[in-house]
Amino acid sequence: MGPMIDLERRISGDWIEAREAGSDQYVLTRFFQFDSDRLRDIARSLRLSVEEGVLEYKSSILRPVFTALENMQYHSVSFEELAAHERPLEELLFTVLLQRLSCSGAILPPKLKLAQPVSTETLEVKAILADIKSRVRQSPEALKHPAVKNIFVQVSLYQKEKKKMEELLPMIKDELRGTFRANFQKVFRRIFDSIRKNYADLLTGEETSRLQQESRPDILYRASLKSLTPLLAEQAKDFSRLRSTLAYARADKYKTRGILVALYKNRNSYLGLLEKENAAYARLCLELGSQSQLDSPATLGRRLAGELVRVLEKLARLEAPAQPAQPPQSDQALG
């Protein structure tokens, strides 16, 4: 009973530590002591899981473990092979805990891109008006846009002011005509500036809409993934148990075969967790229906893998060692 009690203590202790670290992405990274290279390796593996995304990634780590355990039932236990699976299982546990944080909302989605204001200062007013008229011809609905309405108001104002100037000009003495024209030019400049500003507002608004459409990661913005967190917690606990058991068997080497045979007999339970996740993805896709482009669990798995890659790359940048400052060059060296 001694070894089994020690094993259960190891399993329980390892899981408690990992679970507590799993409350925050930065604490989690420090707990596993992953450097930037290790984080990028995980991101690369997820990116290469092109068929089913995160589901494929998990399966690629779990299935070889149980293939090795099956072989060890008929051959001598290879402690080197057990050791070879510890690193991938550690990365799997880290990834599941990170995915749980993402699905729970603890990791915010990428900030919405905002368009930079479009400059129209150098545009000719004639070119602006030509574009506005073209838009209206193509879609009369464009007339309802506030910026378009304001531009036509300014055009009407310009025509009135220009007509007024032309009517009054013959009555103005020659020596005052310069001042008279200058006053109207100020009015025209204000009108032209207003046209340019409204056109800039129109273009900036269109660019903002385009960026919003591009940066909206479908389900991650429009659907709650919190329903996945209990399953991911169950996965993390069981994968932690698998990792701890292999590590204990490799280190203890006492009654190892019995421990590994018992572990192999539970393979369907471990692999069944992925089937549960696949079924959960299918339910989410069904709930969304035509609201999204997520038409299958594999599509959602790829989308979630992409989100994990984004988070991992951000963490990798934070973990990257700072580059030493370069000494300033002298004027002689620059010359």
The pLDDT tens digits for 20-71 are: 999 999 999 999 999 999 999 999 999 999 999 999 999 999 999 999 998 8
Kindly state whether residue 132 falls inside one of the protein's structural domains.
yes
Kindly state whether residue 335 falls inside one of the protein's structural domains.
no
Kindly state whether residue 142 falls inside one of the protein's structural domains.
yes
Residues 60 and 155 in one domain: no
Q: What is the pLDDT of residue 332?
A: 40
Kindly state whether residue 120 falls inside one of the protein's structural domains.
no
Which structural domain range is residue 96 located in?
2-110+220-319
Q: Which of 174, 194, 215 delimits the end of a domain?
A: 215
Q: What is the pLDDT of residue 215?
A: 57
Mean pLDDT of all residues in 131-148: 92
Reported pTM: 0.67
Q: What's CA 325's distance to the chain center, in Å?
A: 31
Q: What's CA 281's distance to the chain center, in Å?
A: 18
Is 243 exposed, middle or buried, given 0-12, 13-18 or 19+ CB atoms closer than 10 A? Answer: buried
Q: What is the pLDDT of residue 334?
A: 31
Residues 182 and 245 in one domain: no
Residues 203 and 224 in one domain: no
Q: What is the pLDDT of residue 329?
A: 43
Residues 53 and 196 in one domain: no
Q: What is the pLDDT of residue 114?
A: 62
Residues 47 and 145 in one domain: no
Kindly state whether residue 116 falls inside one of the protein's structural domains.
no
Residues 83 and 131 in one domain: no
Kindly state whether residue 10 falls inside one of the protein's structural domains.
yes
Is 47 exposed, middle or buried, given 0-12, 13-18 or 19+ CB atoms closer than 10 A? Answer: middle
Kindly state whether residue 119 falls inside one of the protein's structural domains.
no
Question: Are 14 and 240 contacting, i.e. CB atoms less than 8 angstroms apart?
Answer: yes
Question: Are 188 and 161 contacting, i.e. CB atoms less than 8 angstroms apart?
Answer: yes
pLDDT band at 274 (very low <50, low <70, confident <90, very high): very high
Residues 146 and 174 in one domain: yes
% of the chain surpassing 90 pLDDT: 58
Chain segment 94-107, per-residue pLDDT in tens: 999 999 999 988 88
Residues across the chain: 335
Give DSSP secondary structure letters for 293-305.
S--SHHHHHHHHH
Q: Which of 198, 215, 232 delimits the end of a domain?
A: 215
Residues 235 and 299 in one domain: yes
Exposure letters 307-331 (e unless 16+ CB within 10 A, then b): bbbbbbeebbeebeeeeeeeeeeee
Residues 252 and 294 in one domain: yes
Query: Which amino acid belongs to residue 175?
Result: E
Cα–Cα distance measured from residue 250 to residue 119, given in angstroms and rounded to the nearest whole number: 66
Kindly state whether residue 182 falls inside one of the protein's structural domains.
yes
Cα–Cα distance measured from residue 274 to residue 279, given in angstroms and rounded to the nearest whole number: 9
Total domains, the chain: 2
Residues 131 and 187 in one domain: yes
The chain-wide mean pLDDT, for the chain, equals: 86
Residues 12 and 93 in one domain: yes
Assigned token pair, 323: 């580059």
Assigned token pair, 122: 């150098």
Chain segment 301-314, per-residue pLDDT in tens: 998 999 999 999 99
pLDDT > 50? residue 2: yes
Q: Return all residues near 319 (Cβ < 8 A) that are at least 6 apart.
A: 29, 34, 35, 36, 39
Residues 58 and 196 in one domain: no
Q: Which residue has the tokens 């479009």?
A: 118
